[in-house]
Amino acid sequence: MKKRFLLLIPLFFLILTGCSYRELNDLAIASSLGIDYEDNNYTITAEVLNFNKKDEGDVTGGSILYYGTGKTIAEAIRNIYYKYPRLLHLGHLRLIILGKNTIEQKTDEIFDYFLRSPEAANDPYVLVNNKGTAKEIINPDNKSNDTFNAKELISNLESNELRQGTVTTINFEEFLSIYLREGIDPVIPTIHYDKEKDNVYSTTILTGMTAFKNNALLTPLSIDESKAYNILQNKFEDIMIVTDFKNSKLSALLLFPNSSYSVKIKDKITVTIDLAFEGHISEIQKKVDLLDPNILNEIKENLTETIENKIRKLLQYCKKYNVDILGLKDQIYRHYPKEYEKYKKQNIYEIATFKINTNLTLDRHGSTYIGSTKGGSYDKN
Amino acid sequence: MFEQIDDNIKKIQNDYKNSADISFKHFYIHERKLVFVYNQSLSSSTAINNFILKNLSLLIENKKQFPENLFQFLENTFPSHNLKEVTTWQECYDYLGYGFTILFLDQSTKAIAIETKENLARAISEPMTEQTISGPKDAFNENYLTNIGLIRRRIRSNHLIVSEHIVGKQTKTKVSVLYMNNIAEEQLVKEVEKKIAAINIDGILDSTYIREIIIKNNTVFPSIETTERPDLASMCLLEGRVLVLVENSPYALIIPTFFIDLFHASEDNYQNAKNVSFTRIIRYIAFILAVLTPAFYIAITTFNHETIPVDLFVSFAAQRAGVPFPAIVEALGMTLVFEILRESDIRMPHLSGSAISILGAVVLGDAAVSAGIVSSIMVIVIAISAISSLMFSHIGMTNAIRVWRIFFMIFATFFGVFGIFLCGVLLLVKLSEMKSFGKPYLYPVAPFQWEFFKENIFKRNIKKVTKRMPILTDKNETRSRL
């Protein structure tokens, strides 16, 4: 009995061993992928990490660009093999750049391909060129081969999200889930290539975000609106807010975001937005005594108003374009399923009343100006 | 035996075919002939000179009258602590083999055997394979009585029983079973004695012979451990284990041995419990690394690429670029070379040992990588795995790790990480199926006992270990009352 079982083991090897055995050096690791759709053809631009070993242990950085065209995405990717021998490995994909045409016309097809592919990573960041093709981002002057650096672009994207708040990243899976859900519209970071400037590298720039509704890219969000979106999604780590305070400038850092918003229906729709942060005054140009609680309150009110203004701007944007990027309808659908049909077609931002409560704790104000009224160099001025 | 002394001598000469080391010494007492027969290589000439010949000469000089029953007289007169009457040829040859001197007297069908054994063993030296920084530094040697003495010196109790068996038709080797009769399980002792008594073989040259014979099914993991340290042996006796000592073997067998014992080192008994716990955790990690590293490397580089962070991926891929073999061939090749190096290092005399190290370092570490035959990452992987396996002082454990490492590598080649999991299940099944003299090999993990789990997986302060493991003893569980 035991021996018979032993005979089975090599049989298992023969039967169960799949074709997924691949040596590392047979793979071309794609770190970013540009997908364009023009004239009924897909064009794939793949940025593949270059790891040719030159000398002992010295790994050259940089990347190689692979191109393929075809009637379908699958064909286009397969057609890369006409020119390049190695297998395109999408498991470590970190960035997908979509051209304007692609996202407006072929989003469903892209989702279909990536969901079917067993290997492709499902969490690459999605970027969209709202003014042209993906190829012109990856290879702007059509000849340079290794200027594009996905790694740098990604860290730029991430630091913009965490430190500036002007971008809120969305990865492929999140994009897909928001796209497929009813009552919520995705917001995608945009990038574009500035043809006017000479320096190729610096001209591919992150520009902000744009909402995507009914397979169309809308007007991009302004910087304030982008920040407001980031604040509401709690994505930032620390962002800077600059306001006017007593005819001079004041800048404060917002930390530890803990915001939420909820929809309540009682005859009317009420949306309560609760914002909570910790504030840190990083620069104050007016000489004031920060130990005075009244002054602190003044600063707090000032900052609160600035933040709430940004939020209101975002709500205005939503109202203007009738786009539900905050997913209010989605909340209605989940909490008030019976009412959903009624509000489905309406512009929710027109009929709802918005209440914004901001809870800003201003503990960290520094100590520079405490003694300013009693002496020191500030007294002389 | 014959009445005529010359017949007796002739028979011995015939039976030994005039072997050069058998000596005969003739004597006369009042015209009665005496012959001493001894084995020059086993007997001490000093003892023969001082205790037999000298005494006999004095007797002859001083005494004018000898009693009629000369045999009886001599038997009573010789100053020896070990004096035996010999009546059969078989006995005669046995005693000659032990280094006794046999005294033949004419007109007598009996002979006298007087112990004149030469001490042929080396002196008690430091342990060679189980070295420690602190703790006692003596080790068993090839002298059987010395070995028993080393244990007796540590356990003076009359409950320490030494039960002796003679095994081996040609070698007549003494094999003794040592146990504490107030601690050890009777059942276990009986079984060990039964198995040793049943051995029917021409010769036992080392304790490992006994181990091979009494182990039920021969698996790669050692189910009986050996030790050359009398302190460790004594500790095992106190725990209720049974010890087997074999003549001419510096290694004692410890019965039973659990899997967890292979992770313990002699040093553990003499260090701070908390530090030992930490070291033991490192040993478990080393075991996992030793068994799994090459397999895991093969799995993630050939199947489960998505598990590697992208930067590491690029580095791995760059290292592998230009290597002509698949990962498994590379790994098996490197393992083979390493094993050859290790084996030759053990076999080589110490004087030429450094040549091997240089060859290994230069050929493997550097030249093979620059030549592009293997990737440098594979050298690292095999080296980590090899170093981790050398952490275990039990050679049986190192060898078992080697076998399973290759199993894991083969499974990883065909199924990736899933294969490692599959092989892990096989290993677990194998280990939990194993028994060491009827005791579950994975104790105290399975069957689980929290108190002894804590003590064996980690180490507890000796003050807290007040009980013996109940699996080893059924009568005297209390160890201390503190």
Q: Residue B381's pLDDT is what?
A: 93
B242: left (phi over 0), alpha (psi -120 to 50) or beta: beta
From chain B, the residues in CB contact with A92 under 8 A are: 305-306, 310, 313
B315 at interface of A, judged by CB pairs closer than 8 A: yes
- Residue B126's H or E segment, with its range, is none
Report the 3 state secondary structure along chain A: CHHHHHHHHHHHHHHHCCCCCCCHHHEEEEEEEEEEEECCEEEEEEEEECCCECCCCCECCCEEEEEEEECCHHHHHHHHHHCCCCEEECCCCCEEEECHHHHHHCHHHHHHHHHHCCCCCCCCEEEECCCCCCHHHHCCCCCCCCCCCHHHHHHHHHHHHHHHCCCCCCEHHHHHHHHHCCCCCCEEEEEEECCCCCCCHHHEEEEEEEEEECCEEEEECCHHHHHHHHHHCCCCCEEEEEEEECCEEEEEEEECCCCEEEEEEECEEEEEEEEEEEEEEEEECCCCCCCCHHHHHHHHHHHHHHHHHHHHHHHHHHHHHCCCCCCHHHHHHHHCHHHHHHHCCCCHHHHCEEEEEEEEEEEECCCCCCCCCCCCHHHHC
User: Which of A17, A53, A121 is the closest to B318 by Cβ?
Assistant: A53
From chain A, the residues in CB contact with B415 under 8 A are: 16-17
**From CA B442, how far away is CA B432, in angstroms rounded?**
6
B415 at interface of A, judged by CB pairs closer than 8 A: yes
**pLDDT at residue B14 is higher than 50:** yes
β-partners of residue A376 are none
- Asked if A188 and A209 touch (Cβ cutoff 8 Å), the reply is yes
B339, amino acid identity: E
ipTM of this predicted structure: 0.72
Phi and psi at A180, nearest 5°, equal -80, -15
Q: Residue B369's pLDDT is what?
A: 80
From chain A, the residues in CB contact with B303 under 8 A are: 20-22
* Contact state of B322 with A22 under an 8 Å Cβ cutoff: no
**From CA A213, how far away is CA A224, in angstroms rounded?**
20
Of A161-170, B60-69, B194-203, B300-309, the least confident = B60-69
**pLDDT at residue B344 is higher than 60:** yes
Q: Residue B428's pLDDT is what?
A: 93
Distance from the Cα of residue A331 to its chain's centroid: 22
Q: B120 in helix, strand or coil? A: coil
- Asked if A167 and A157 touch (Cβ cutoff 8 Å), the reply is yes
What count of other Cβ atoms lies within 10 Å of the Cβ of residue B62? 7
**pLDDT at residue A5 is higher than 80:** no
Candidates B208, B211, B218; CA nearest to B430 is B218
* Contact state of A57 with B376 under an 8 Å Cβ cutoff: yes
Confidence of residue A13 (pLDDT cuts 50, 70, 90): low
Q: Residue B194's pLDDT is what?
A: 93
- Asked if A263 and A269 touch (Cβ cutoff 8 Å), the reply is yes
Taking CA–CA distances from B320, the nearest residue in chain A reads: A25
Q: Residue A369's pLDDT is what?
A: 55
* Contact state of A25 with B310 under an 8 Å Cβ cutoff: no
Start-to-end C-alpha separation, chain A: 99
* Mean pLDDT rounded to a whole number for chain B: 87
**pLDDT at residue B112 is higher than 80:** yes
**pLDDT at residue A378 is higher than 60:** no
Shortest CA gap A199–chain B (Å): 28
The reply to whether omega before B67 is within 30° of 0 (cis) is no
Confidence of residue A362 (pLDDT cuts 50, 70, 90): confident
Class of residue B469 by CB neighbours under 10 A (exposed 0-12, middle 13-18, buried 19+): buried
User: Which of A56, A92, A121 is the closest to B370 by Cβ?
Assistant: A56
* Contact state of A51 with B306 under an 8 Å Cβ cutoff: no
**From CA B241, how far away is CA B235, in angstroms rounded?**
9
Confidence of residue A376 (pLDDT cuts 50, 70, 90): very low
Phi and psi at A41, nearest 5°, equal -130, 140
**pLDDT at residue B315 is higher than 70:** yes
Start-to-end C-alpha separation, chain B: 64
Going by DSSP bridges, is the β-strand pair A238-245/A248-255 parallel, antiparallel, or unpaired? antiparallel
For the segment A299-319, the average pLDDT, to the nearest whole number, is: 91
* Contact state of B301 with A51 under an 8 Å Cβ cutoff: no
Pull the structure tokens for residue B142.
Answer: 């090839």
User: Which of B303, B305, B318 is the closest to A51 by Cβ?
Assistant: B318
**From CA A184, how far away is CA A174, in angstroms rounded?**
12
For the segment B458-481, the average pLDDT, to the nearest whole number, is: 87
* Contact state of A16 with B414 under an 8 Å Cβ cutoff: yes
Q: B265 in helix, strand or coil? A: coil
**From CA B38, how far away is CA B44, in angstroms rounded?**
10
- Dihedral angle sign, alpha carbons of residues A221, A225, A231, A232: negative
User: CA triplet A121, A124, A127: central angle to 5 degrees?
Assistant: 145
Confidence of residue A19 (pLDDT cuts 50, 70, 90): low
- Asked if B396 and B408 touch (Cβ cutoff 8 Å), the reply is no
Look-up of token digits 């021998």:
A85
**From CA A16, how far away is CA A4, in angstroms rounded?**
18
Pull the structure tokens for residue B3.
Answer: 């009445």
* Contact state of A27 with B320 under an 8 Å Cβ cutoff: no
Q: B339 in helix, strand or coil? A: helix
User: Which of B303, B306, B315 is the closest to A21 by Cβ?
Assistant: B303
Distance from the Cα of residue B310 to its chain's centroid: 50
From chain A, the residues in CB contact with B377 under 8 A are: none
Pairs of CB atoms within 8 A across A/B:
65
Q: Residue B62's pLDDT is what?
A: 77
Pull the structure tokens for residue B395.
Answer: 């050679």
Q: B368 in helix, strand or coil? A: helix
**pLDDT at residue A196 is higher than 50:** yes
- Asked if B242 and B250 touch (Cβ cutoff 8 Å), the reply is no
Look-up of token digits 């299940």:
B425
Q: Residue A266's pLDDT is what?
A: 86
Q: What is the DSSP string of B130-153?
A: S--SSS------S-HHHHHHHHHT
Confidence of residue B199 (pLDDT cuts 50, 70, 90): very high
- Asked if A277 and A237 touch (Cβ cutoff 8 Å), the reply is no
User: CA triplet B145, B149, B154: central angle to 5 degrees?
Assistant: 160
B367 at interface of A, judged by CB pairs closer than 8 A: no
Confidence of residue B353 (pLDDT cuts 50, 70, 90): low
- Asked if A129 and A103 touch (Cβ cutoff 8 Å), the reply is no
- Dihedral angle sign, alpha carbons of residues B302, B304, B307, B309: positive
Class of residue B23 by CB neighbours under 10 A (exposed 0-12, middle 13-18, buried 19+): middle
Better pLDDT: A150 or B384 = B384
Q: Residue B6's pLDDT is what?
A: 85
Q: How many CA atoms lie within 13 A of B375 on its CB side?
A: 28
From chain A, the residues in CB contact with B322 under 8 A are: 25, 53
B360, amino acid identity: G
Taking CA–CA distances from B321, the nearest residue in chain A reads: A25
From chain B, the residues in CB contact with A13 under 8 A are: 414
- Asked if A270 and A263 touch (Cβ cutoff 8 Å), the reply is yes
pLDDT in tens, B396-420: 899 999 999 999 999 998 888 989 9
**From CA A166, how far away is CA A363, in angstroms rounded?**
25
For the segment B8-21, the average pLDDT, to the nearest whole number, is: 86
Pull the structure tokens for residue B270.
Answer: 């003499």
* Contact state of B321 with A52 under an 8 Å Cβ cutoff: yes
A253: left (phi over 0), alpha (psi -120 to 50) or beta: beta
Q: Which of A192-196, A198-202, B309-313 has the highest mean pLDDT?
A: B309-313
**pLDDT at residue B203 is higher than 80:** yes
**From CA A226, how far away is CA A209, in angstroms rounded?**
7
**pLDDT at residue A227 is higher than 80:** yes
Better pLDDT: B269 or B3 = B269
Q: Residue A375's pLDDT is what?
A: 47
Q: Residue B158's pLDDT is what?
A: 92
